[in-house]
Structure 1
Amino acid sequence: MEQLSSLKKKVTSYFSHQKKSLRKFQKQHHWDKHLVSVLNKSKFPTIRQLRYLPKVLTKQERQKISILSLIILFASIVFLVNGYLLATVSVPKAGGDYVEGLIGSPRFINPILAQTDVDKDLASLIFPGLLKYDQNRQLVTDLAESYEISEDQLTYTFHLRGDVSWHDGEKFAANDVIFTIASIQDPEFNSPLARSFIGIIAEKIDDNTVKFVLKEPFAPFLSLLTVGILPEHLWYVIPPANATLTELNRAPIGAGAWKFDKFSKDRVGVIKSYSLIKNNSYYGNKPYLNNIIFKFYADFNSAVDALKSKDVQGIAYLPKEFRTDLKKYKNLNYNNLDQPQYTALFFNQNNNEFLKADYIRQVIALAIDKRTIVKDIFNSEGRIADVPSLPGIVVNSDIKKYDYDPEAAAELLEKNGWELTSTTTADGITKQVRQKKNWYLQLKLTTVDQPVNVQTAELIKSSLDQIGFDVQLDIVDKSKILQDVIRNRNYESLLFSENLGTDPDPFPFWHSSQNEYPGLNLAIFTNKAVDKLLEDARRINNWDERKDKYLEFQKIIAEELPAVSLFNATYTYPQDKSVKGFNLYSIAVPADRFSNLHEWFVKTKRIWK
């Protein structure tokens, strides 16, 4: 108890002392305030007085005030910046260049002579057509202001824009359209578009009106009029036979949003870079970019290296085999675009008797693991296909499908008398092969020598080998596939891709009239019902009626199985993230990637909301 009493006295004494000290401080503080009040009637210290503040503050106090001042300054800056950002919005600013790498080199930057992707890319930017496909894949007017179609669907009348000038200042008129169509049809020009314009008559009504007359209704006709128009005043003096020799094919004059600026060549005369400059007199939406510069490379390896080193901001196309190599480069966007292209295994029943049996083609369809192909080869960037895919048309849900089922495939072979037997190959390897009487189940599989095709062919071979096929791969160089294989239909089965282009018309690929070259019916498929469906669809402008014909076509193809449709691969278009504004989800041909080029930008500015 005595100890507690002693502790209590000490505590009481301590707090009593603190109170006395506080009263003394408050009294002193009162006199300080009074002194300041007397010296400064405004109650606030003057600038002169504040100059003495550091002298009356301790070092520790000065440090604290400095830190506090910095915090207030930083907070003010953050507040002002955030306020500015909240009150403004970032928008594209005109200016800057875009540099893209292409594989190959330009030869004919001419819309009626272009055959390579490089030539078509450049021509599409320089030469507009009467119509164009917008970024939503819809046909809209371009050089044409409007058009009408007659009730019998044989006459198309186009009214031309009156505000269009060529890059040299001359006025665009109807004569340019008439000259372009006539040049396409002239055999001496040797235009690759000539077959598409057979029987079409182009007439001038007046300087601003042209008329096209067809022999019979042709629904895809409008898509043909996206072809670029040539300036008659420059081309009419050039003999058609010399059309490929003129410098206008390398330094063209068009009427598009972009005009030729310059090109550079290497020591042997090959064009290595090509520059386009914005056309300030363009009649349509003006682009933000000032220049488009193309650099040309011999192969994809060189182009990808240029993308890595930022020598280019994009390349026209990125093959799937390069994706892994680019994973560590975080400055790239990969635009995976849908396209009207499908890859299939086409059967030539004339060159392999086994393929004439329906069940053999069904066995092959059941044995191929499409899902693994899409997953392993395309990193799941693609879709499984069961029938030829047509742009703008959802696949018929009623078609017959052959899902991966190797056991069912083997059972179907055994049911038809094909038994497994051991045989020794020329390499001395013993393998199990299906045999029926004196026949071995053999198949030659031909494809082009490109990584994706070869990998796919090897997976198909592996799948078929597992159920007893003896598959021989025939890998053909890209430069020879057309001449040595497709032209003479020199294959038993052909792994190949077909691109239908802008219109969903599959006539060139599946009508029996296209069985022989230059037709593209690679399955050499003859079916009267399919022929009639495709013929009728070409004569119908009503989209719903036309679509019904194509859905029925898909159903027959799935039933007859003249080919095994495998997958729809996406088109990968890589760009540096510094390039903004690309906003496409699908293309029909590679040049379509520029459909919204006028919206691309590399510079920005802020404006008030």
Structure 2
Amino acid sequence: MNRRDHAVVLILVLLLVGLGGVLALPKAPAAEVEATPTPEPTLPPPATYREGVVGVPASITPITARSRAERTLVGLIFSGLVRLGPDGGFEPDLATSWTTDESGQTWTFRLREDVTWQDGVPVTSDDVVFTVEALKSPDAVGAVASSWAEVEVAAVGEHTVQFTLQTPIAGFLAAATQPLLPAHLLADVPFADLATGEFATLPVGTGPYVLAELDDERAVLVPAALLPPPVEEPESSPTLDPFATPVPSATPTRPVPYLERIEVRFYEDAAALAAALESGQVDGATGLPVEQATALEGEEGIERIAYPTTTLSAVMLNLRPSHPELDDARVRKALLASIDRDALVGTVLGGDAERADALVPPASWAFDAASAPPVAFDRKQANTLLRDAGWKLSDGAWTAPRGKERYRAEILTVPAAASPRLAATAAYVRNAWTRLGLAVDLVELPAAELVERLRAGTYTAAVVDIAMGLEPDVFPLLASSQVRASGSNLSGYQDPALDKLLEAARAVGTPETRTAAWKALLAGLAERQPILPLAWSTEVMFARGLDGMAPRLIATPGDRFWDVLGWRLATDR
């Protein structure tokens, strides 16, 4: 009731009192009336999905997010020009349409004109330009940043943006899933301050959910579609009704999700997270290591949902002229044949992975099993291959051609504290090569030092995770042109014949020509084995009472939310 309503009621009361005096109405006998309290209206609680992760987020931005907690929140809060779609494809998101020239070198995207940031400011091409330039900053690191190094971007209109690629790439749409940053909030923020600045814990995106609360225990997110529309400043300020309350309403351009509230709860370790799922404190959990994941497998009411990923655990070999003993493809095949990758997946990785037989994930459209015949685990065959390549076996120890002592290899990897899974994989490879007859030293290094050693070429082998991307493109990893200080060919491999296959596989063409090109490349890689594939990581989610998820190939933990608009809590939850 507003002030005007109060005034009307007061006038009516005064009139009735006045009329009562004029008409001399008889007084009613006094009676004791027991007041009945008016029940307070109650609203049903919002449909809240609670997911647990290990760790507390500190940098919730698409460029600086590193931990699982950070990437989970980024996947809910931010969005890109295109988004993941069913069957491994891509769909429009912030862009309505796109075109490319015949060469695949120039891509033009038309942005939606009805989309705003979560603070109400319209999304424009300036935001796209700002995001790409931030990714190209000298301070930006990682596979995502390196993929934009040879891309030029320009705004050709308020809602039109154009990308010019130094090297044509048919699969550029995968890069366009990169979530955008708001230029109007960050244009004056140095990139070095982005990870720790105010925006890192008060993010503003264009994704399906907006961050409503954040502390060391949880993050609370609500649908962005239910944000009130931005209020335009009126030319003249009318008298405001202090009793009026604005009611949030769905923004017409945003679909409303079934989940009315998402809580992401943070736990100190995996044991605490698993216990929270078992006790019903959370409805979902991700990132659990083998021990906890195995224990949850048989729990009643808990479902295991597996998402194939584009993260490849592999052995990168130093194929520079300084290591001629590894130049023969037979040696590389022998090293791969000595590793029982099925046992690696089933034991060390606890089944949360898939054996890798190529540098393309099996769930990708580009994979063809016939073109990538697997190298089977066969130690006897490995011995034969080494002998054929000129190696000599004496007293169970191998000596390389022109060598005088038992061959010694150093395997680099990250510490177990940084990645227990990867460190355990490296130890498994060391043991396999030791049984083969090599002397092997396993050296754990911090990630930055490891990358420095790889770039300098001061290593023999390294067990690493490689982010292959949603659209397969191994050109940066193996092309001869990428053997340079800023390139990604850290193995130093150079093969002109393979270069032609690499270029053909990333060229623009019809689906038929692209499929044929990838078959040829897969066959060429199988023949050479320049990088030894071990296993494809699987993103495993355990959930109770949650429906609507449709697993597909993903690149990051946040990609799980590609279909979050359709997630629903089970009615019997």
The TM-score bracket by the shorter chain reads 0.7 to 0.9
Q: Distance in 2 between matches of 1:600 and 1:120?
A: 19
- 1:295 maps to 265
User: Which of the numbers 288, 303, 306 marks the counterpart of 2:276?
Assistant: 306
Q: Distance in 2 between matches of 1:215 and 1:442?
A: 41
Q: Distance in 2 between matches of 1:165 and 1:138?
A: 25
- 2:545 maps to 578
> How far has the Cα of 1:381 moved from its partner?
5.2
- 1:420 maps to 394
Q: Distance in 2 between matches of 1:224 and 1:503?
A: 8
> How far has the Cα of 1:299 moved from its partner?
3.8
- 2:84 maps to 133
How do 1:173-188 residues align onto structure 2 when only pairs under 5 Å count? 173-185=124-136
Residues 51 and 283 in structure 2, CA contact (< 8 A), matched pair in contact too? yes
User: Which of the numbers 453, 461, 464 marks the counterpart of 1:496?
Assistant: 464
> How far has the Cα of 1:461 moved from its partner?
4.0
Residues 58 and 196 in structure 2, CA contact (< 8 A), matched pair in contact too? no
> How far has the Cα of 1:133 moved from its partner?
1.0
User: Which of the numbers 340, 348, 358 marks the counterpart of 1:377?
Assistant: 348
- Residues 259-293 of structure 1: CA distance to partner in whole angstroms, max 9, x if unpaired? 120111xxxxxx44222111214523311112222
- Residues 61-99 of structure 1: CA distance to partner in whole angstroms, max 9, x if unpaired? xxxxxxxxxxxxxxxxxxxxxxxxxxxxxxxx9942122
Residues 121 and 591 in structure 1, CA contact (< 8 A), matched pair in contact too? yes
How do 1:438-587 residues align onto structure 2 when only pairs under 5 Å count? 438-448=404-414, 449=416, 450-467=419-436, 469-476=437-444, 479=447, 482-483=450-451, 485-515=453-483, 519-575=487-543, 577-587=544-554
Q: Distance in 1 between matches of 2:58 and 2:570?
A: 33
- 2:331 maps to 360
Q: Indicate the structure with greater helix content.
A: 1
Q: Structure 1 pair 574/440, CA: closer, same or farther in 2 (3 Å)? A: same
> How far has the Cα of 1:114 moved from its partner?
3.4
Counterpart of 1:275, as a letter, is V
Q: Distance in 2 between matches of 1:136 and 1:291?
A: 28
- 2:208 maps to 257
> How far has the Cα of 1:152 moved from its partner?
4.6
- Computed over aligned residues only, the root mean square deviation of the Cα atoms, in angstroms, reads 3.3
> How far has the Cα of 1:559 moved from its partner?
1.5
> How far has the Cα of 1:512 moved from its partner?
2.8
Q: Does 1:143 align with 2:114?
A: no
SS in 1 for 2:520: helix
Q: Distance in 2 between matches of 1:581 and 1:433?
A: 55
- 1:168 maps to 119
> How far has the Cα of 1:183 moved from its partner?
4.3
Q: Structure 1 pair 189/559, CA: closer, same or farther in 2 (3 Å)? A: closer
Q: Distance in 1 between matches of 2:305 and 2:291?
A: 16
Q: Does 1:326 align with 2:292?
A: no
Q: Distance in 2 between matches of 1:373 and 1:167?
A: 45
Q: Distance in 2 between matches of 1:599 and 1:375?
A: 33
> How far has the Cα of 1:592 moved from its partner?
1.0
Q: Distance in 2 between matches of 1:544 and 1:166?
A: 39
SS in 2 for 1:338: strand
- Residues 358-390 of structure 1: CA distance to partner in whole angstroms, max 9, x if unpaired? 443333233222232233334555433332124
User: Which of the numbers 364, 367, 378 marks the counterpart of 1:405?
Assistant: 378
User: Which of the numbers 139, 154, 157 marks the counterpart of 1:202?
Assistant: 154
Residues 158 and 211 in structure 1, CA contact (< 8 A), matched pair in contact too? yes
SS in 2 for 1:344: strand
Deviates more, 1:165-174 or 1:350-359: 350-359
> How far has the Cα of 1:338 moved from its partner?
1.4
Q: Distance in 2 between matches of 1:154 and 1:547?
A: 20
Q: Distance in 1 between matches of 2:446 and 2:275?
A: 23
- The structure with the larger Rg is 1
> How far has the Cα of 1:232 moved from its partner?
3.4
Percentage identity across paired residues of the two chains: 26
- 1:3 maps to none
Q: Structure 1 pair 261/554, CA: closer, same or farther in 2 (3 Å)? A: same
Aligned residue pairs total: 494
Q: Distance in 1 between matches of 2:408 and 2:348?
A: 26
Residues 112 and 227 in structure 1, CA contact (< 8 A), matched pair in contact too? no
Counterpart of 1:471, as a letter, is A
- Residues 466-507 of structure 1: CA distance to partner in whole angstroms, max 9, x if unpaired? 44x133241415556635643434432222232212211112
> How far has the Cα of 1:143 moved from its partner?
1.3
- 1:593 maps to 560
Residues 396 and 555 in structure 1, CA contact (< 8 A), matched pair in contact too? no
Q: Structure 1 pair 135/101, CA: closer, same or farther in 2 (3 Å)? A: farther
- Residues 215-258 of structure 1: CA distance to partner in whole angstroms, max 9, x if unpaired? 55332332222222333333345455654453122112222221
Residues 100 and 106 in structure 2, CA contact (< 8 A), matched pair in contact too? yes
Counterpart of 1:385, as a letter, is A
Which structure 1 residue ranges, 5 or more long, are not aligned? 1-92, 265-270, 422-431
Q: Distance in 2 between matches of 1:186 and 1:564?
A: 32
SS in 1 for 2:381: helix
Q: Structure 1 pair 157/362, CA: closer, same or farther in 2 (3 Å)? A: closer
Q: Distance in 2 between matches of 1:512 and 1:558?
A: 18
Counterpart of 2:318, as a letter, is N
- 1:274 maps to 219
Q: Distance in 1 between matches of 2:275 and 2:120?
A: 40
SS in 1 for 2:56: coil
Residues 384 and 566 in structure 1, CA contact (< 8 A), matched pair in contact too? yes
- Residues 507-536 of structure 1: CA distance to partner in whole angstroms, max 9, x if unpaired? 222223434565443433111122232234
Residues 166 and 231 in structure 1, CA contact (< 8 A), matched pair in contact too? yes
SS in 1 for 2:456: coil
SS in 2 for 1:596: helix
Q: Distance in 1 between matches of 2:379 and 2:480?
A: 32
